[in-house]
A and B are shown apart, each in its own frame.
Chain A
Amino acid sequence: KNQVEQSPQSLIILEGKNCTLQCNYTVSPFSNLRWYKQDTGRGPVSLTIMTFSENTKSNGRYTATLDADTKQSSLHITASQLSDSASYICVARGGGGNKLTFGTGTQLKVEL
């Protein structure tokens, strides 16, 4: 069964601090892994897409890593800002039908 698990479920950090979110997936065959940011009551917005041959990809203060061997990914946020408060969703594409399998997200709150 295709699954994506994320940790932690929720996280509170102080503005300016860094944090790392984790994602484990069991999607086979694997096509790519995506990270999205979803603000409350809004649709997800893409941060990164990585194929199995990519180990790291950055988008501003967001850096995603991928280890296709261990089927793990992480999203590192540098110098957090209040506007980073959102749910961060890990999504793996692959499996039968090559569909997207969504994680339940990590709810990040950045405080002053």
Chain B
Amino acid sequence: GAVVSQHPSRVICKSGTSVKIECRSLDFQATTMFWYRQFPKQSLMLMATSNEGSKATYEQGVEKDKFLINHASLTLSTLTVTSAHPEDSSFYICSASRKGGVNTEAFFGQGTRLTVV
């Protein structure tokens, strides 16, 4: 299967600072990338959908000025958590899809454990 690499896998930052998470599709061109957040023992919650070269579409309740998403190329999307607070501590996961129909596979990254202290 296709490979999606997420970096870093773990990050600890101080409250008030910003953190950038990268998501790369290593062996395919990802026209669409998705960012999810997962709290312990809960399901993945979609934060935003980004298409290469255009602005991300954010889900209701997700602050676009706090969670900055950039999808500048077909192989890279970044999520920047700005002015992080302890409540932003969570597991962030990206997924990437090729161009295709509704049955197109979505490949997930390994996830990033963010801890804000």
Contact residues of A with B, CB < 8 Å?
4, 31-32, 36, 41-46, 49, 51, 89, 93-94, 98-100, 102-105
Contact = CB atoms under 8 A, between A and B. Distances in A.
Contacts of A45: 108
B105 A31 contact: no
Contacts, number: 46
Interface hub of B6, B43, B105, B111 (most chain A Cβ within 10 A): B43
B67 interface: no
Contact of B110 (A4, A42, A51, A104): A42
Contacts of A93: 102
Question: How would you classify the secondary structure of chain A's contact residues: helix, strand, loop or mixed?
Answer: strand
A44 B43 contact: no
Interface residues of B, number: 22
Contacts of B102: 31-32, 93-94, 98
A60 to B, nearest CB: 14
A99 B102 CA distance: 9
Interface of B: 1, 4, 6, 41-46, 91, 93, 95, 102-103, 105-111, 113
A43 B95 CA distance: 9
Contacts of B109: 43
Contacts of B107: 46
B6 A104 contact: no
Contacts of B110: 42-43
Contacts of B4: 43
B46 A43 contact: no
A94 B41 CA distance: 24
A86 B101 CA distance: 29
A27 to B, nearest CB: 12
Contact of A44 (B6, B46, B108, B113): B108
A43 to B, nearest CB: 4
Contacts of A100: 46, 106
A102 B111 contact: no
Nearest to A51: B103
B103 A32 contact: yes
A49 B113 CA distance: 27
